[in-house]
Chains A and B, each alone.
Chain A
Amino acid sequence: MTGALRYEWMRIRTIRSSYWMSALAIALTFGITLLMALSISAADLDDEFDSVYQVTTYIVLAGASGPFIPVMAAPFYAVMGVMAVGHEYRYGTNKATLSAIPDRVAVLAAKLVVLVAWVLASIAITLLLGMAITWLLLDNPQFGSHLVRPLLNYTGYCVGFAVAGMGLAALLRNQTGAIVAALTWPLVVEPIIYGVSLAISETTGGGIGKLTNLLPSSAGRRSMFDPYEAIAGFGNGEVWSIGAAVIVFWLGVILVLAAGATSFIKRDA
């Protein structure tokens, strides 16, 4: 496992795409954070409610990520995850890799560990930049324990995207296909299902809206918003708890990773 980790650490550090994908994720989040901070600082907020400042602090910190806005950085981390395995198939290096490290579980575990570490480092930079902007531009920034849960879930959401991207690449063994799948599902497929389900739910007055709780990416985004109660009534009161949303999101990620890992371990190189 140590050899596999050394290999993977060297792998991720020696291709430019690792750097520019992270840089794009950080830069995009930073840009949105800056715009949000400037907008909020220009607005005349009612200072009677700390929760307003808490929410705005979170929104600025996490690049306006929330239940109704895609997390702009997440697709870049998904692509990084795809490349962790997809490059092996695209450039035929998988045979060289598995000749050097025949233990496929170790290879995949090392990829997972290094990828997660890389994404966590990128998110840390993002949050530090967001914190600096918040501190500089907001009137009454509220840094406190109320930020822990949403920021943890924000971090988990980005990491989950990276892991799911890796799983998709291992499953499909095709880098382009995996990138398309990783981007289309959260940005196109789920919103369509979500919209259609809610429309049907409202017209039939029935519980089909509950099905939207099972959409992993949507569930992951819902888990970030704080206070969660602000949207508890959304979707005819059928929205599951924040804990359930986290579970649904990670079940989706683990399912994709497990399928990809099984393919990577069982199939021919």
Chain B
Amino acid sequence: MALIQARGLSKTFGSKAAVRGLSFDVVPGSVTGFLGPNGAGKSTTMRLMLGLDNGEGVTTYDGVPYRELKQPLRQVGSVLDAKPFHPTRKAVNHLRMLAASNSIPNSRVTDVINLVGLGDVANAKPKTFSLGMGQRLGLATALLGDPGTLILDEPANGLDPQGVHWLRNMLKTLAGQGRSIFVSSHLLSEMALMADSLVVVGRGMLIASGKMSDFISTSNRNAVLIRVENPELMTRELRARNAAVVTEPDGKLAITGMDSDRVGGLAHELGVRVFELSNREATLEEAFLDATGASEEFRASMGFGNQGAAFGGPMMGQQGYGAPGGSGQQGYGAQGGYGQQGQQGGYGQQGGYGQQGQQGGYGGQPGQGYGPPPGYGAPPPPPHDTGTSQDGSRRDGDTA
């Protein structure tokens, strides 16, 4: 049951830095999710951790680098590719071959192939396997040595819902046995159910590392929502108390910087009738998009929106977020976030979002930015910025 310690992992391809000074821990007894946009360096990091790529830094498993492990499959199991096997070598022979390298008995091969649900096709050739079956065979490979640590790159890719459910339960069970599970995935909803901790990267740098609940709580999308009789008065008084207030499209006030007890108390003091008071908690997806907005390597062109959304990515931030051995650059920042610096502060002051200028951030006129154009007929979407402008580009660092 190994403690994984990654320190100073760096890797460059030519002049391009794929991973830059990445440091984090993965503790036993937990599922640690590894998140980042495409091209953020997740797979490269995992290869560095396993000594497959040459780079800088070191990763140790209970203090021992991977290349120095005796019979590594018995200590660290890994899956890095979806279908890493010869198409005409029987599944069982693929496992026996790997087992032979680490003196793992053939009885264990039978065990793991049944465990991943491939017992009926053990003697089939993997060329007939679906992507999901290939993933299961990869997982069987990882589990072959009954290791205390698992490193899995997108293991849920290609799995059907039952397979995803099975994977989640299995990983949580394995973590419950005290193993260290480090798993990357693009399925954020799945990660939210599975992971206890997160390592979030963007452009090869650490954005966040720590408990998932802490990560989500730092999202600016967490807010107190209140619907009151006199929103203008409430807004003014809240701002006088340094709370950030945004008027939602449905008229509610979204308040950050003050908890719901104090907001309710203030309404009471002001004699303002409250129709609704609730806490809005960010989802992992929202927190992830906030955190990695500025660090997308590849962006799709959305093809609509006018002025461009305008909240800066947290990569601009300087406020550290629990990164081990943090250097100050590993911040999950607040300063680069949205709605922090504009005159109006906050997002969505005037309805839509994506307008440039003083309001910046989410603020904007209806029809500008990401929102549906006038006459489109649909109500404005909730204020979930995509960070996408008319030409599909994200303008890093723009703030409200």
Contacts and interface: CB of A to CB of B under 8 A. Distances in A.
B129 interface: no
A269 B78 CA distance: 14
Interface string B65-91: 011110111001010110111111110
* Most B-side CB within 10 Å, residue of A17, A91, A99: A99
B86 A15 contact: yes
Interface stretch (A47-55, A60-68, A100-108, A131-139): A100-108
Interface in A202-237: none
A146 interface: no
B158 to A, nearest CB: 15
Given A87-B86, A92-B83, 6 more contacts: A6-B101, A10-B100, A91-B87, A95-B50, A99-B80, A267-B54
Given A3-B103, A10-B93, A14-B97, A95 B54 contact: no
B47 A103 contact: no
A192 B169 CA distance: 64
B182 to A, nearest CB: 14
B84 A101 contact: no
A268 interface: yes
Given A100-B98, A103-B67, A95 B80 contact: yes
8 contacts: A10-B93, A10-B100, A14-B94, A14-B96, A14-B97, A16-B88, A96-B141, A102-B69
Given A3-B100, A87-B86, A92 B71 contact: no
B391 interface: no
Interface string B102-145: 11000000000000000000000000000000000000010000
Contacts of A14: 89-90, 93-94, 96-97
Contact of B101 (A3, A15, A17, A87): A3
A149 interface: no
Contact of A7 (B54, B83, B90, B100): B100
Contacts, number: 85
A93 interface: yes
A176 to B, nearest CB: 16
A91 B66 CA distance: 23
Interface in A242-266: 266
B89 A15 contact: yes
B52 interface: yes
A268 B47 contact: yes
A98 interface: yes
Interface of B: 47, 50-54, 66-69, 71-73, 76, 78, 80-81, 83-90, 93-94, 96-98, 100-103, 141
A93 B78 contact: no
Contacts of A91: 84-87
A98 B52 contact: yes
Interface string A160-173: 00000000000000
What does DSSP make chain A's interface, helix, strand, loop or mixed? helix
A247 B85 CA distance: 39
Contact of A10 (B73, B78, B87, B96): B96
A208 B90 CA distance: 54
A13 B53 CA distance: 29
Contact of B81 (A6, A95, A98, A268): A95
A122 to B, nearest CB: 20
Contacts of A100: 72-73, 98, 101-102
A4 to B, nearest CB: 7
Contacts of A266: 54
B97 A11 contact: yes
Contact of B72 (A6, A9, A87, A102): A102
A99 B50 contact: yes
What 5 A-B pairs come out closest when comparing CB atoms?
A7-B101, A269-B52, A6-B100, A14-B93, A10-B97
Contacts of A15: 86, 88-89
A95 B73 contact: no
Interface string A17-43: 100000000000000000000000000
A269 B83 CA distance: 16
Given A102-B69, A269-B53, A7 B47 contact: no
B278 to A, nearest CB: 48
Contacts of A269: 47, 52-53
Contacts of A103: 67
A102 B78 CA distance: 13
Contacts of B97: 7, 10-11, 14
A3 B53 contact: no
B170 to A, nearest CB: 20
B85 A99 contact: no
A84 B234 CA distance: 74
A262 to B, nearest CB: 13
Given A3-B100, A3-B103, A268 B86 contact: no
Contacts of B69: 102
Nearest to B96: A10
Contacts of A92: 81, 83-84
